[in-house]
Structure 1
């Protein structure tokens, strides 16, 4: 007791103060448990398992108990499922997560081969990343950064398969960046408002992805998208460079003149099997298929 009271007599202890913010963690360990199984995510390491029948009974009995926080340099914190994507998916082997659809690795490799120098996967998690360097929408110390729209994209060569609702923001970023190249996987949707801007940012002929049953998958389980043929997915090579885009547009116009003697005029057609994807500067833009 005496030693505890003497602590208060030392001015160094009294002036030390207490930090207003906690020290940033050196490691983040994400865990999640369901009545089916468990999942763990630490940096690039993933682990998962399913409960046995006996363990399921125990889990059901303990379901309403809460884990305590440890009074040490380790602390436990509840994270909502939408921010705990990786372990949350790992422990639910039959769950389909809409935000986690991605190109199957063997398909993504073909797309990345087209780009050649792509260095960062801009919309990914530790489960579905296609490159060693990636940006995560959830807390992840292994990611290059989080919250992709809060970081500059300048001088990056990007692979991006964003949620469809974010394509407008993505195109705005490409258009405003001083120097940026992007291999974008997105839909051929001529009726949406951002489609004309997508065509204007092109620097190469778009490639149509084959509507095969194994092209889109969930990263944590072997589940494939069952309506790929209705999506009309394409690979679009974009650039923020005005000179590169102008060179591509001039080449398109020249191709049209070589074919018919005058620039062809054609309205944008609805999504479908046609190789025509639209019109750029009065030049018809055709796509090429990406080999299966």
Structure 2
């Protein structure tokens, strides 16, 4: 009986006793508690009405720890003794909220041994490391456990589903999904449905912490395993359930699972079957480790998923069960000492801009596309010599299908160490500029002195002029009118003759206005036999 005051509770007890006696019941006063109290022992457990919890008495806790410790020290034990310890554990579960998670391995091993012994409880069985892991939890944790008498109603709904392709989850209209790894594809669909619940919980962790969550799944086995905190029919499903409830406890949450017909679980079902994996490619792990030796081990992988991450800490582009952050462009990259990026190719330019703006430092893997607009910016941000990743087998594969990226058939990759800090870029350029000097040399004033083609001598300016004239001829430029020193007007005139828009010519030649080109370069040359030159020559 509960009441807000001591006197009120006492009166209620007396009234109840009186009514029960009047209708013919006999009250066993020795087994009854007729004095109001806020903490009492009932059916072997302590009920606390202040904290609204049920706990084990100290004597039962000590007995349970002793039983588990004794069995843990054994390598072999009679099946009967193992069953006795399991019975002691099961008797304690009403006062241990998550106790069901940590006896199923013992129970499964006992059933297997008993089956082999043809039902003889006096046969001995091995006490395996798996069994000892369950025993160890009871030894170390039971003293700190309790069970809440009441829990608040569910506060948020999470829909999950799994298919043979991948998993999907939906929360408040926002969905997330992912493909299975090659190992996960081998699991039974029941285990995959539980995996989908686990991944969805982790993906939406920032929305679910401290909440009572209602999880909807169209798989009845998954629903029962979650609500019962595991089972002994499938150890794989039981292990996933332990992961689910470990996450729940760590995030101060609670889960109640409910079944939903598949036809009503459309959002999660669609998410599990329509996985966009165009950006899931992964660089060969051994090659990544080699680059780490060269450029340093990064703190975080900014463009990854749980399938293609190179290091434990990573950022995904959408909610991911293992990601530390999602959407790399919403966080400050400067908070990390060294970042690693292998972004979708369409985001390379944006990555370079963010690195420069936040003065971040890291290394980036990109295709060796020298004509791309971002290549100039990338070269200006270098702080070390780029490493070329040659085309070879297994360099870039999909982690789910092991398919090789088609780009590797015709393109090389390049790993670049970059910095958004200008002074670091300038320091690298200085090192590169002086790296060809012989020991004791001083800076050379002529910028062409160092151009050589082994085993020949240094290239002269006349040779370079000859090269330029040859290039002009190959381009269709009349070298009788233009010399090697007139490359800009020659190129501009040729472009004008080929109907290239004037805006393009201005941009490439560096003129600020169209008038400059028209006034100084785009002139009609008049051929007149009476000119001064002709007269002199005649």
> Is this a same-fold pair by TM over 0.5?
yes
Structure 2 residue corresponding to 1:163, chosen from 344, 349, 353: 344
User: Aligned equivalents of 1:24 and 1:119: distance in 2?
Assistant: 35
Aligned to 1:175: 356
Deviations 1:254-278 (A, max 9, x none): 2356699443599xxxxxxxxxxxx
Q: Aligned in 2, Cα 1:246/1:48: closer, same or farther, shift over 3 Å?
A: same
**Pairing 1:138–2:268 present:** no
Q: Is the 8 A contact 1:31 1:38 kept in 2?
A: no
CA contact (8 A) 2:161 2:268 kept: no
Q: 1:100 aligns with which of 280, 294, 310?
A: 280
- Alpha-carbon distance in structure 2 between the residues aligned to 1:165 and 1:120: 21
Alpha-carbon spacing, 1:213–1:80, altered in 2? closer, same or farther (3 Å) = farther
Distance 2:319 2:387 in 1: 33
2:392 aligned to 212, 217, 238, which one?
212
Q: 2:418 aligns with which of 231, 238, 242?
A: 238
Q: Equivalent residue for 1:203?
A: 383
Q: In structure 2, what is the Cα distance between the partners aligned to 1:256 and 1:242?
A: 23
SS class of match (1:98)? coil
Whether the 8 Å CA contact 2:388–2:413 is kept in 1: the answer is yes
The alignment partner of 1:249 has SS state of helix
Q: Flag structure 1 segments of 5+ consecutive residues without an equivalent.
A: 1-21, 53-65, 90-95, 267-292
Residue aligning to 1:150:
330
Residue 185 (structure 2) aligns with = 48
- Shift of the alpha carbon at 1:140? 1.7
Tell me what 1:223 maps to. Answer: 403
SS class of match (1:186): strand
Higher relative contact order (CA 8 A, sep 6+): 1
- Aligned CA RMSD, in angstroms, stands at 4.1
Distance in 2, Cα, partners of 1:183 & 1:141: 25
Cα deviation per residue 1:106-156 (whole Å; 9 max; x = unaligned)? Answer: 222222222223110110000000000000112124211011111111132
Offset at residue 232 of structure 1 (A): 2.0
Work out the number of aligned pairs and report it: 218
Give, in whole Å, the separation in 1 of the partners of 2:381 and 2:274.
Answer: 37
Alpha-carbon distance between aligned partners in 2 of 1:246 and 1:193, rounded to the nearest angstrom: 21
Structure with higher Rg: it is: 2
Q: Distance in 2 between matches of 1:114 and 1:207?
A: 9
Residue aligned with 2:322, SS: coil
2:447 aligned partner: 263
> Structure 1 residues 146, 24: closer, same or farther in 2, change over 3 A?
farther
Which SS does the other structure have where 1:99 is aligned?
Answer: coil
TM-score by length of 2: 0.35
Match of 1:116 in 2: 296
The equivalent residue for 2:162 is 32
Report SS of the residue matched to 1:228: helix
**Cα distance in 1 between the residues matched to 2:387 and 2:397:** 20
Decide whether aligned partners of structure 1 residues 31 and 192 sit closer, same or farther in structure 2, where only a CA change above 3 A counts.
same
Segment of structure 1 superposing worse, 199-208 or 225-234: 225-234
Q: TM-score, normalised by structure 1?
A: 0.62
Q: Secondary structure at the match of 1:246?
A: helix
Residue 225 of structure 1 and its aligned partner are, at CA, apart by: 2.7
The answer (yes or no) to whether the contact 2:306–2:321 under 8 Å persists in 1 is no
Is the Cα–Cα contact under 8 Å of residues 31 and 88 in structure 1 kept in the other structure? Answer: no
Q: Tell me if 1:251 matches 2:381.
A: no
Give the structure 2 partner of residue 57 of structure 1: none
Structure with more helix by fraction: 2
Partner in structure 1 of residue 18 of structure 2: none
Residues 205-249 of structure 1 show CA distances to partners (whole Å, capped at 9, x for unaligned) of 000002112101001122223441422210000011222111101
- In the alignment, the residues of structure 2 paired with residue 239 and residue 73 of structure 1 have an alpha-carbon distance, to the nearest angstrom, of 49
Residues in 2 aligned to 1:249 and 1:30: alpha-carbon distance in whole angstroms: 53
Does the C-alpha gap of structure 1 residues 31 and 212 become closer, same or farther in structure 2, counting only changes over 3 Å?
farther
Aligned: 1:126 with 2:263: no
Change (3 A) 1:188 1:30: farther
Contact 1:257 / 1:263 at 8 angstroms: preserved in 2?
no
Alpha-carbon separation, structure 2, partners of 1:249 and 1:173:
21
- The structure with the greater share of residues assigned to strand is 1
Unmatched tracts of structure 2, length 5 or more: 1-154, 169-176, 190-216, 224-254, 452-463, 465-538
